[in-house]
């Protein structure tokens, strides 16, 4: 049984003070009645703040059911890499996850598959669980290339890694045309692609290993539609941008998923 994981990706939003405010509010919701127990059992909760707010968020949520993740890393322990942050540093500040290969980093920052492969390896080496993002453009979807393209992204990012990667890997399927646009893939469309990603994992690592990997959907997920995705057999969570910036709407999504899985 895969435990669903709801992750808020804050992108370049929130100062450390705002992150602390969000954390306090989320924890106060969690402490209500039996919700902490319910959520701990049913859903894994993750927030990925920007680097500058990550230590404050991790400190405020230490020892609770809320985990912290980075949004990126540079694949070296330390060194002359101006402006970059290492997996060791993320870990030391309390991160347990890290997003790798978000489409904004691929498209705006020009990250290549080779670099992402190094990043996945670095995350694993330093004990961070990678959330590997894959997803097609609207043109690729229209040409019917979605599955082949996303499977290719998986193959490139996971190149050289053995089946043990399936113990910690999370994959996020995020069609680029659905990110921040209000236009989401239907749960059926997302399920179809995600099932093909799992099939690739099964062909590569074996069915038992593939069955362990949690695959999230991302792209305009909100309180009104999150349960529709999570009801699909291969969708194990969501990577949430805009709707994860307010504690109240993140909380609504957590409750919707916990109710579905109860």
With contacts defined by CB under 6 A, name the span among 17-25, 47-55, 144-152, 215-223 that binds ligand PGA: 215-223
Q: Which is nearer to ligand PGA, 13 or 149 (CB)?
A: 13
Q: Which is nearer to ligand PGA, 111 or 209 (CB)?
A: 111
Q: Which is nearer to ligand PGA, 88 or 189 (CB)?
A: 189
Among this protein's residues, is 18 annotated catalytic? no
Site string for ligand PGA, 5-44 (x = CB under 6 A): ----x-----------------------------------
| Identified catalytic residue from 44, 111, 174, 209 | 174
Contact pick of 240, 254, 256, 258 for ligand PGA (by CB under 6 A): 240
Among this protein's residues, is 174 annotated catalytic? yes
With contacts defined by CB under 6 A, name the span among 53-61, 83-91, 194-202, 237-245 that binds ligand PGA: 237-245
Query: According to the binding rule CB under 6 A, does residue 220 interact with ligand PGA?
Result: yes
Query: Can you give the chain as a three-state secondary structure string?
Result: CCCCEEEEECCCCCCHHHHHHHHHHHHHHHCCCCHHHHHHHHCEEEEECCCCCHHHHHHHHCCCCEEEEECCCCCCCCCCCCCCCCHHHHHHCCCCEEEECCHHHHHCCCCCHHHHHHHHHHHHHCCCEEEEEECCCHHHHHCCCHHHHHHHHHHHHCCCCCHHHHHCCEEEECCHHHCCCCCCCCHHHHHHHHHHHHHHHHHHHCHHHHCCCEEEEECCCCCCCHHHHHCCCCCCEEEECHHHCCHHHHHHHHHHHHHHHC
Tell me the closest approach of the beta carbon of residue 121 to ligand PGA, in angstroms: 23
CA quadruple 161, 164, 165, 171: dihedral sign: positive
Q: Which is nearer to ligand PGA, 30 or 240 (CB)?
A: 240
Kindly give, in sequence order, each residue whose CB lies less than 8 Å from that of residue 59, ignoring residues fewer than 6 positions away: 94
Contact pick of 6, 158, 179, 213 for ligand PGA (by CB under 6 A): 179
Query: According to the binding rule CB under 6 A, does residue 98 interact with ligand PGA?
Result: no
- The size of the interface with ligand PGA (CB under 6 A), counted in residues, is 13
Tell me the closest approach of the beta carbon of residue 241 to ligand PGA, in angstroms: 2
| Identified catalytic residue from 102, 104, 111, 136 | 102
Query: According to the binding rule CB under 6 A, does residue 180 interact with ligand PGA?
Result: yes
Query: According to the binding rule CB under 6 A, does residue 174 interact with ligand PGA?
Result: yes
Query: According to the binding rule CB under 6 A, does residue 124 interact with ligand PGA?
Result: no
Q: Are the C-beta atoms of 242 and 180 separated by less than 8 Å?
A: yes
Q: Are the C-beta atoms of 176 and 138 separated by less than 8 Å?
A: yes
Contact pick of 241, 247, 255, 258 for ligand PGA (by CB under 6 A): 241
Block residue for tokens 């509010």:
25
User: What CA–CA distance (Å, rounded) separates 153 from 133?
Assistant: 9
Using CB under 6 A as the criterion, which residues of the chain lie in contact with ligand PGA when the complex forms? 9, 174, 179-180, 218-221, 239-243
Q: Which residues are catalytic?
A: 102, 174
């Amino acid at each position: 049984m895969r435990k669903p994981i709801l992750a808020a990706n804050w992108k370049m939003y929130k100062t450390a003070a705002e992150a602390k405010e969000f954390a306090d509010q989320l924890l106060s919701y969690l402490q209500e009645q039996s919700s902490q127990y319910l959520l701990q059992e049913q859903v894994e909760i993750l927030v990925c703040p920007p680097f500058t707010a990550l230590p404050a968020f991790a400190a405020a949520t230490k020892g609770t059911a809320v985990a912290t993740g980075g949004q990126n890393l540079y694949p070296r322990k330390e060194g002359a890499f101006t402006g970059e942050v290492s997996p060791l540093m993320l870990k030391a500040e309390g991160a347990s996850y890290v997003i790798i290969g978000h489409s904004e980093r691929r498209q705006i920052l020009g990250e290549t598959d080779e670099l992402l492969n190094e990043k996945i390896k670095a995350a694993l080496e330093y004990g961070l669980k990678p959330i590997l993002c894959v997803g097609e453009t609207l043109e690729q979807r229209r040409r019917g290339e979605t599955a082949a393209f996303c499977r290719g992204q998986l193959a490139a990012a996971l190149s050289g890694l053995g089946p043990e990667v399936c113990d910690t890997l999370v994959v996020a399927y995020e069609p680029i045309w659905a990110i921040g646009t209000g236009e989401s893939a239907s749960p059926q469309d997302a399920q179809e692609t995600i099932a093909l990603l799992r099939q690739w994992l099964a062909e590569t690592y074996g069915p038992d290993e593939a069955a362990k990997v949690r695959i999230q959907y991302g792209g305009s997920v909100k309180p009104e539609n999150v349960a529709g995705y999570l009801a699909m057999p291969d969708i194990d969570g969501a990577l949430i941008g805009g709707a994860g910036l307010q504690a109240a709407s993140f909380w609504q999504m957590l409750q919707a998923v916990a109710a579905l899985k109860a």
